[in-house]
A and B are shown apart, each in its own frame.
Chain A
Amino acid sequence: MTTENEAGASRQKQQDIPKLSGIVLDEEHLLTLTEISQACAVQTGYIIELVDEGLLTPQSGAETGQETSFREPRPHFWRFTGEQMRRARLASRLQGDLGVNLAGVALALQLLDEIAELRERLEVLGGDDWSRPG
C-alpha cells in the first residue's frame, strides 16, 4: 500500500545523492604494483611471486623510457590490467580457501580459462542448454 510512497521517497533520496564518476580500468588505465597489491589485499611480495610463476605478465611502464636498458624492468615499473587484477584476486582466494600451492593455482587458473573459453564457444554455437544447466 505504501509502495508508491516508498518508491517516490527512494527516488527522491536517489536524486539527493551526488553522481560519482570513476575510472574504467581499460587499456589506458593500468595499475601499479602497489595499487594491485592493495586492491587484492595482499603484500607486494605475493604479486611478485605470481609474476615469477608466470601467472601474471605485467606490462613495463617503459613509456618513461628510463628502464629500457633492463631486460626485465624493475617491479615498480610494472603495470597491470584490470583483468590481471581479477586473476590475482582469484589466485589469492583459491590459495587461501582451498590450500593449493602456487603451481596448483596456476594450473587451476589455466583450466578455468579454458572452461570459460569453451563455454563461450558453446554459446556461439547455440549450445546454451549445455552451458547453462538449470
Chain B
Amino acid sequence: MEYKDYYKIMGVARDASQDEIKRAYRKLARKYHPDVSKEPQAEVRFKELGEAYEVLKDPEKRVAYDRLGTNWKANQEFRPPPDWNAGFEFSEREFPGGDASQYSDFFESLFGHAFRSAQGGRAGARESGMGGMGSHGGRQAFHAPGEDHYAKVMIDLEDSYTGATRAITLQVPEVDQQGHLATREHTLNVVIPKGIRAKQYIRLAGQGAPSSGQGKRGDLYLEIEFRLHPYYRVEGADVYLDLPIAPWEAALGATVKVPTPGGTVGLKVPPGSTTGRKLRLKGRGIPAKTPGDLFVVLRTEPPPAADEADKAFYRSMAEQFKSFNPRAGLGVEA
C-alpha cells in the first residue's frame, strides 16, 4: 500500500487553515470534476482530491493523519504503525461525498473500519467518481428499495444496426464477514437492442444494490456510448460519412460503392458534384420506427502524379482548363 500525501494532493501547506483547505478543494474540484473537466486524468485526480479533502476537512481525521508524521513520501510503501490511532474517537457519520468504496487502500487502512458501519452497502458502479448527493442524499428508510447502480457501456455503431449481446463486468464492493471491504466481480450478459442510440439508458430491473431491509433490489442503468468510429460520425439517429471520390466521378457522375454500418450500398453521384456536397441516404441511419438518415459528404481526391506519364497528363489538363481559376472567389487572378 502506498502512502498518500493529502497536503500535496490538495496543494496546501501542512499548517493550512480549515478555510484554506476548503478554498483549495473548491478550486480544484471545479477544475477536475469529471462532469465539467476536459483535463486528462480528471476522474482520477477528482477521486484523489475527494479522499484528501475527506481527511483534511475533518479536524479529527486530520490530527490523526498528521500523527503519521512528516517523513513519509508520496507513493512510498506504507504500513500503518501499530495503534497509531489509539486515543482517537472518530465520530461515526456518513461521508458527505458519498462513496467510501472509491477511496484508496491507504484511506481504507486508516479510516475505513470506523466509518464502515455508517456506510451500508454502497456500490461503486458509478461512472464518474465519488460524486455525492450533498444534503439531498438522505439515508434510505429501512424498507426502502436498494440503491440503483449505473455503468457506462461502450458499443460499436454497428451493434446498434444489428443488436448485440455484451458481457458487462461490474466491480461491486462488498463488506465481508470480517468487516473488510472487498470488490466482487459481477458479470452480466446484456442484450443491446437494435436501434439503441448514444446516451440512452437501458434499465435492468432488480440488478442494482440489495435493499438494506426487506425492500426490493435497486435497478441497474446502463448508459450507452459509441466507440469513436474511424469513418462514421453520429448525431442522434443520423450518421455522417466523408466519402472520397475521384475528380472524374465528381465531374461526370458515377455510381460508387459506399460503406454503411448496415452493409455496402451503391450511391449515385450526380454529375458536376464538388467537395462538400451532401447526399442523403434516407433511412440508412440508426434503425428505429422512424430510422435516422445516412449523410454522405463528398470530397474529391485527385490521383497523385506519380510518374512522367501522370505528370504529362496533368500538364495537358492544365492546358485544357487554362481559363479555370479555382481562387476566383478569393479575389486573386489566376
Contacts and interface: CB of A to CB of B under 8 A. Distances in A.
A96 B134 contact: yes
A17 B187 contact: yes
Interface residues of B, number: 52
B305 interface: no
B30 A98 contact: yes
B26 interface: yes
B292 interface: no
A97 B187 contact: no
B334 interface: no
Nearest to A23: B203
Interface string B176-209: 0000000000011111010010011111110100
A97 to B, nearest CB: 6
Nearest to B131: A93
Interface in A57-92: 82-83, 85-86, 89-90, 92
A92 B202 CA distance: 21
Given A13-B187, A92-B134, A98 B148 contact: no
Given A95-B134, A96-B134, A41 B147 contact: yes
Given A24-B200, A96-B134, A97-B131, A17 B218 contact: no
B203 A98 contact: no
A80 to B, nearest CB: 11
Interface in A5-39: 13-14, 17-26, 29, 38-39
B303 interface: no
Interface stretch (B35-43, B262-270, B308-316): B35-43
Contacts of A22: 190-191, 202-205, 220, 222
Interface string B217-233: 01111110000000001
Contact of B207 (A17, A20, A25): A20
Contacts, number: 124
A19 B165 contact: yes
A42 B222 contact: no
B202 to A, nearest CB: 4
Interface in B130-165: 131-134, 136-138, 145, 147-148, 150, 165
A86 B199 contact: yes
B135 to A, nearest CB: 8
Interface of B: 26, 29-30, 33, 35-36, 38, 40, 46, 50, 96-98, 128, 131-134, 136-138, 145, 147-148, 150, 165, 167, 187-191, 193, 196, 199-205, 207, 218-223, 233, 235, 240, 242
- Top 7 A-B pairs ranked by shortest CB distance? A96-B134, A93-B131, A96-B132, A22-B202, A22-B204, A82-B201, A21-B191
28 contacts: A19-B189, A19-B190, A19-B191, A20-B204, A22-B190, A22-B203, A22-B204, A22-B220, A23-B202, A23-B203, A24-B202, A38-B145, A38-B219, A40-B133, A41-B148, A42-B133, A82-B199, A82-B200, A85-B201, A85-B221, A92-B136, A93-B133, A97-B46, A97-B131, A98-B33, A108-B36, A112-B35, A120-B235
Given A13-B187, A41-B137, A97-B50, 9 more contacts: A22-B202, A24-B201, A25-B203, A39-B219, A42-B137, A90-B35, A96-B131, A124-B240, A134-B40
